[in-house]
Structure 1
Amino acid sequence: MVNDKSGKAAEQSQLALDFVQFAVESGVLRFGEFKTKAGRMSPYFFNAGLFDDGAKMGRLAGFYAKAILASGLAFDMVFGPAYKGIPLAATVAVELARLGRNVPFAYNRKEAKDHGEGGTLVGAPLKGRVLIIDDVMSAGTAARESIALIQAAGATPHAIAIALDRQEKATENGRDVAHSAVQYVRGELGMQVCTIAKLADLLQYLAHSGGGDEMKAHHQRVVAYRDRYGVEDE
């Protein structure tokens, strides 16, 4: 049993490192100086919108699906919050089916449609335990909006899958708080969170990438940022 757990942990760690490398090579994960929504100057930036062709989206969906299945999450369908979550939910549902886990999917519109089928929800009816698919989680605001939609439809918001957990303090009313958005969703909203990779995986990648002085400099800046804004590991 110990060996099984150890083996699964190693597989998940390798999946996370492979994802970080893929994100860097795709130009989705960049290093430099970027201002976050919280007003912090971050030494790295993750923009899932730059997974912008079929090959990248296919690989991204594969990472999501493998992480979700490896996590052992129980769910009955997937939901993609508008707008970035829409292609994510669709492609992840396709990949899950390819891996033998066929589930329905749905998504929402930002504005209600007043003709045709109408309403704000598209796709399969929301029911059972719903897994929300999104890119990152900054303050948990998008999660709360999705939760409200799912509950209003009579379903259960059960878990959230995201690509990258920044593992940093969230902000409330312009002030840093001790917990991250992921910790808030787990602790206060009572939902499970599945992540493909975390800040810790990014640091491990930078430390062992063999990229020379440039990567060492990026590693030092990300470590300094974590020391200032990071939270205790979930």
Structure 2
Amino acid sequence: MSALREDFIRFAVECGVLRFGEFVTKAGRTSPYFFNAGLFNDGQSLGKLADYYAETLLQSGVGFDMLFGPAYKGIPLVAAVSMALAKKGRNVPFAYNRKEAKDHGEGGIIVGAPLKGRVVIIDDVISAGTSVNESVGIIRKSDAVPSVVLIALDRMERSGKDDALSEFSAVQEVQKAHGLTVLSIANLDDLLGYLEKAGTTEALNRYRKAVKAYRDKYGAMN
């Protein structure tokens, strides 16, 4: 686990964005942890989150020309990440979509810079891949190239319902379906690594075994 990944996990825990307990996921599973990026809901925490996104993207070495944020969570994220990149010396345009087309003014569903070149899709997580699938369609329709998806946390768990589990995670399925690179600031293995290191903290240590058992049961193929 890199220092950046470990620091991000710690930051998410301290902000109450990454929580431990019993939570029911969209797939109906009882998860021992829950990540809600919507709780980065003030200027300071959103700004720091954007720095993690920007640094992850720059450290990856992938080429890109602009950013795209899918409605709705991707809208504040893409604006914040664009500003964070500019502070690091990489000034790139960004755009986002509306859920419904506007029939007056500039019209259409795209707000911001014209979609062109190699586009990075900025989102919080990939659950079912629906948001990414829609974003890829929008970008390609504009003759731009969706090249990278950048998310905050990769849960690394098999997609589907318990009675019909896929061998792959939603992230892996997006990669296979669209030929995209998916980057994450951190993933479930990083979370486990953090819990191992924080093992002397009783409040966190009691969740370590539960998270590991969840990973063993639902973890996707590497």
Tell me the TM-score normalised to structure 2 length.
Answer: 0.97
Are positions 1:199 and 2:188 aligned together? yes
Partner of 2:16 in structure 1? 27
Partner of 1:232 in structure 2? 221
Partner of 2:49 in structure 1? 60
- Code of the aligned partner of 1:18: D
Q: Distance in 2 between matches of 1:225 and 1:173?
A: 13
Are positions 1:152 and 2:151 aligned together? no
Question: Which runs of no fewer than 5 residues in structure 1 stay unpaired?
Answer: 1-9
Q: What do you get for the CA RMSD once the two structures are aligned?
A: 1.4
Partner of 1:183 in structure 2? 172
Are positions 1:48 and 2:41 aligned together? no
Q: 1:77 Cα deviation (Å)?
A: 0.3
CA-to-aligned-CA distance 1:138-184 (integer Å, 9 cap, x gap) = 11111100001111111111110000000000117972100011111
- The within-5 A match list for 1:31-180 is 31-171=20-160, 175-180=164-169
Q: Distance in 2 between matches of 1:100 and 1:174?
A: 49
- Code of the aligned partner of 1:60: L
Q: Distance in 1 between matches of 2:28 and 2:151?
A: 22
Cα contact 1:207–1:215 (8 A) shared by 2 = no
Tell me the TM-score normalised to structure 1 length.
Answer: 0.92
Structure 1: which 4+ aligned runs deviate by more than 6 Å? Answer: none
Secondary structure class of the residue paired with 1:221? helix
Secondary structure class of the residue paired with 2:21? strand
Distance 1:127-1:35 versus aligned 2 partners, 3 A rule: same
Cα contact 2:28–2:161 (8 A) shared by 1 = no
Question: Which runs of no fewer than 5 residues in structure 2 stay unpaired?
Answer: none
Q: Distance in 2 between matches of 1:173 and 1:17?
A: 30
- Code of the aligned partner of 1:134: D
- Code of the aligned partner of 1:191: L
Percent identity at matched positions?
59
Cα contact 2:69–2:121 (8 A) shared by 1 = yes
Partner of 1:7 in structure 2? none
Distance 1:123-1:203 versus aligned 2 partners, 3 A rule: same
Q: Distance in 2 between matches of 1:185 and 1:74?
A: 19
Q: 1:39 Cα deviation (Å)?
A: 0.7
CA-to-aligned-CA distance 1:120-152 (integer Å, 9 cap, x gap) = 100000011110000000111111000011111
